[in-house]
Amino acid sequence: MLSSVDDLFLDVLKDIYFAEKKILKTIPKLVRGATSPDLKAALTEHRHETEGQIERLQQVFEHLGKPARAKTCEAINGLFEEADELFEDTEAGPVRDAGIVACAQAVEHYEMARYGALIAWAKASKHGDIAKLLQETLDQEKKADALLNKLGTDKINAEALREAA
């Protein structure tokens, strides 16, 4: 039972730790399924950022004096199940690329929500050092989301619409 903000913080921290590790494992599949060179590059770059995000989460666990342990995140599992369905229901090309952008943005939005909550709780608990680590990751997630949005709106969605016509 979660009876304090500290308990809630640790529970969500374990959740996002699982999510980041799952993302690290899954991005290569998205890269292989994409055809847009820009999308492949953006996903590959974010995978490298995710490695650093996992390291920062491990630092947060250390600051708390807790072991870095993951808790299964059903939300992230569900988002990647949707990506699996996308791969089953589409062929490689612009339509799949548009779907990959949408799936990746759903993941980014989940992460942004989780990191936002963790930062607020860390600040409220006077853990400025932890909030700073988490803010660095949140900033990367926002940047990744903005890039995915730009790729979709500037090129990939238009290509998908042309292919479907």
Q: What is the pLDDT of residue 163?
A: 84
Please name the residues in contact with 144: beta carbons below 8 A apart, sequence gap of 6 or more.
Answer: 42, 46, 49, 104, 108
CATH number at residue 125: 1.20.1260.10
Encode pLDDT of 54-79 as tens digits: 999 999 999 999 999 999 999 999 99
Q: From CA 146, how far away is CA 159, in angstroms rounded?
A: 19
Does the pLDDT value for residue 164 go beyond 80? no
pLDDT (tens digit per residue) in 85-113: 999 999 999 999 999 999 999 999 999 99
Q: Residue 34: which domain range?
A: 5-164
Number of domains making up the chain: 1
Q: Give percent of the chain with pLDDT exceeding 70.
A: 99
pTM (two decimals): 0.95
Longest dimension (CA), the chain: 57
> CA-to-CA distance for 77 and 28, rounded, in angstroms?
16
